[in-house]
Amino acid sequence: MCANSWQYATYEEEREHPDIGRYVTYGIAVCDGGGTVCQRIADIYTCKSSVDELAAACTRDQLSPCQLQDVVEDFLVDFSVV
């Protein structure tokens, strides 16, 4: 078990795509107990509240950063099924 306390936070980015132009998207950053950003996953989803909920769940459950990519992929699959 890791002794770190992980904090997951949503961050906003503006991106540009040749077909749709500029858009705002949200990613997740994870910080260790000292506030150092350990990992980021960009451009997860365009709905801030959904990414906020995912980040809060990761913090609450103290998800290991090495599992973040899998959790984000599962999150995106869940949204594509709806």
Split the chain (82 residues) into runs of 10 and give each run's mean pLDDT. 80 96 97 94 96 97 96 88 53
Q: Would you state the pLDDT for residue 4?
A: 72
Sheet strands side by side (includes 37-45): 7-17, 21-31, 37-45
Q: Would you say residue 33 lies in a domain?
A: yes
Please answer whether residues 17 and 23 qualify as being in contact, where contact means their C-beta atoms are separated by less than 8 angstroms.
yes
Q: What is the dihedral of CA 23, 70, 55, 60, to 10 degrees?
A: 170
Q: Would you state the pLDDT for residue 44?
A: 96
Q: Would you say residue 71 lies in a domain?
A: yes
Q: Would you say residue 62 lies in a domain?
A: yes
pTM: 0.87
Q: Would you say residue 2 lies in a domain?
A: no
CA distance 76 to 25: 14
